[in-house]
Amino acid sequence: MPGVTLERITKVYGGGVKAVDDVSMAIGDAEYMVLVGPSGCGKSTLLRMVAGLEKVTAGRILIGGDDATDLEPRDRDIAMVFQSYALYPHKTVRENLAFGLRRRRVPSDEIRTKVDAMGAMLGLAELMDRKPAALSGGQRQRVAMGRALVREPRVFLLDEPLSNLDAKLRTSMRGELARLHERLPTTTIYVTHDQVEAMTLGSRVAVMRDGVVQQCDSPQVLFDRPANLFVGAFIGAPAMNLVEARVGGGAIHFGSHALGAPGLEELGDRRLVLGLRPTCFALADERCDPRWPRLSAEVDVVEELGAESNLLFTVDAPPVLSDAVREAIGGESGSDEGRLLADDRRARFTAQIAERRAARAGERVELAMDPTQLHLFDPASGEAVEWSWSLVHTA
């Protein structure tokens, strides 16, 4: 069976750091698997173990159905693109592309044909005799891609290949990568900490935290049915609105608000974390589904994005400040924000309304919410709490 299979992979570094903890996954042939997670969660470590650059502490790696756990990188028939590109500085672009083929004793006329074809495909034809130092960041990135692709490996590994590019180039390159995969479907593992990249590129996305895979599924499922609070908070931009709430009497209560939705009775009476996607909001008017729960809010700030607007408001209920959320939202700014909010005990919400000039700052608006984009999590474990209604409507 082609593809890559990881069986209970664990990595403990010399200092006792457990970077990857008992990870299993099966990546199918030509599948595009993205590993995503905050800095230090072990994505690179996992990828480097597939590459053979790090030894596994425990577990097995199968590449194309064969045990590759103890193989040297060169015997695994993989190619890798590094964040720093890692081009050979003393070799020209042509030599960089040809190096791997040459090591594999490919006949030189075949090398020439393949390298020229790859150069033409990636628009490097004019740059073939330059050294990497004489290339721009984007060009280097393309050479790094070309060097990996020209080998036609069984597995293609990329470790944050776009993060050294400026924002605009990154977006266009993202599209290029997706198109490339259409043209040359190869099993791919792609590491990033950028969830937009993850969602747009991956046929499946594995969200990692502290060396553990939290959830591994298609981008749509990750978005619609996050398995836990961490995944919910990490996936989606703007981030999911989270607030401490209580369910009881068939409604969800937080602050002075109460949201009713069918089927909530079965959850009984308990404390929960409520998560609302910014996209679940709409202005409550006659076009709205009358069954959708409503919420009235005073808008603090309006961000006009052209075709849509973000309404920022606060609700009179405590924000969620668990470690999972803090890690998902990101290091410094997350914890700073946490402290600020802890003072006023009010959660900040963002509503993304698909209308231009949806409201003015200071205005009080009535918002309706799509209950299918409403998520409940257990406050202690962080696990998603599912109830029959939500399941029916997202299936």
Partner 1 sequence: MEALAPALATAPRRRLRERLLGEHPTAWAFIAPAVVIILGLTIVPVVWSLLLSFRSSDLISPSHSVGLANYKALVHDPALGAAVKHTLIFTVLYVPLSIAAGLGLALALDRRIRLIGLYRTLILIPFIVATAVQGVLFSFIFDQRFGVVNSLLQKLGLPTQGFLGDPGQALYIIILIALWGSIGFCVIIYLAALQDVPKELKEAAAVDGATRWEVLRHVTIPQLAPITVFLLVWQTLFALQLFDLVYATTRGGPLESTVVIVYYIYLQAFQLFHAGYAAAIAYVVALVLIGLSALQIVYRRWRVAHP
Partner 2 sequence: MSLRRRLPFSPWHLALAPIAILFALPFAWMVISSLMSTAQINRFPPTIIPGSLHLEGWETVLGGAEFPRWFLNSTIVAVVTVISNLIFCSMAGYAFARLKFRGSTAIFLLILATLIIPFQITMIPTFIVMHDLHLSDTLGALIVPNLVTPFGVFLMRQFFLNLPIEVEEAARIDGCSRFGVLLHVATPLAKPALATLAALTFLVSWNELFWPLIVINTDSTFTLPVGLTTFQGAHSIDWPAVMAGNALTALPVVVAFLLTQRTFIASLTSSAVKG
Ligand X SMILES: Nc1ncnc2c1ncn2[C@@H]1O[C@H](COP(=O)(O)OP(=O)(O)OP(=O)(O)O)[C@@H](O)[C@H]1O
Give the Cα separation of 128 and 29 in Å (integer): 32
Judged by CB under 5 A, the number of residues near Mg ion is 1
Q: What is the smallest separation between the CB atom of 72 and partner 2, expressed in angstroms?
A: 7
Among Mg ion, ligand X, partner 1, none, what binds residue 39 when CB lies within 5 to 8 Å by partner kind? ligand X
The residue within the footprint of partner 1, chosen from 68, 299, 351, 384 (CB under 8 A), is 68
Give the Cα separation of 13 and 16 in Å (integer): 5
Among ligand X, Mg ion, partner 2, none, what binds residue 74 when CB lies within 5 to 8 Å by partner kind? partner 2
Radius of gyration of the chain (CA): 24
Give the Cα separation of 198 and 190 in Å (integer): 8
Q: Which two tokens stand for residue 364?
A: 């009080």
Using the minimum distance from each CB to partner 2, give the nearer residue, 193 or 326. 193
**Dihedral Cα 138, 142, 147, 152, nearest 10 deg:** 150
Q: Which two tokens stand for residue 187?
A: 């099993």
Strand partners, 58: 10
Neighbours of 320 (CB within 10 A): 25
The residue within the footprint of Mg ion, chosen from 5, 44, 192, 390 (CB under 5 A), is 44
Q: Is 140 in the site for ligand X (CB under 6 A)?
A: no
203 DSSP assignment: S
Q: What is the smallest separation between the CB atom of 35 and Mg ion, expressed in angstroms?
A: 10
Amino acid at 52: G
Q: Is 82 in the site for partner 2 (CB under 8 A)?
A: yes
Using the minimum distance from each CB to partner 2, give the nearer residue, 112 or 131. 131
β-pairing, 309-315 vs 257-260, is unpaired
Q: Is 70 in the site for partner 1 (CB under 8 A)?
A: yes
- Phi/psi at 217 (nearest 5 deg)? -160, -175
| 364: enclosing H helix or E strand | strand 364-369
Give the Cα separation of 143 and 375 in Å (integer): 44
Residues 180-209 that bind ligand X (CB under 6 A): 193
Please choose, out of 62-70, 84-92, 133-141, 380-388, the segment that lies near partner 2 by the rule CB under 8 A.
84-92
Give the Cα separation of 302 and 346 in Å (integer): 18
Q: What is the smallest separation between the CB atom of 62 and partner 1, expressed in angstroms?
A: 10
The residue within the footprint of partner 2, chosen from 140, 147, 225, 375 (CB under 8 A), is 147
Whether the Cβ atoms of residue 198 and residue 205 lie closer than 8 Å to each other: yes
Among Mg ion, partner 2, partner 1, none, what binds residue 103 when CB lies within 5 to 8 Å by partner kind? partner 2
Give the Cα separation of 222 and 217 in Å (integer): 6
Residue window 36-65: x/- pattern of binding to partner 1, with contact defined by CB under 8 A: -------------------x--------x-
Q: What is the smallest separation between the CB atom of 346 and partner 2, expressed in angstroms?
A: 46
Please choose, out of 17-25, 80-88, 202-210, 286-294, the segment that lies near partner 2 by the rule CB under 8 A.
80-88
Among ligand X, Mg ion, partner 1, none, what binds residue 66 when CB lies within 5 to 8 Å by partner kind? partner 1
Among 220, 274, 224, residue whose Cα is nearest residue 245: 274
Judged by CB under 8 A, the number of residues near partner 1 is 9
Interface with partner 2 by CB under 8 A: which residues? Answer: 51-53, 72-74, 76, 78-80, 82-84, 86-90, 99-100, 103-104, 147, 151
Binding residues for ligand X, per CB under 6 A? 13-15, 17, 19, 37, 39-45, 193
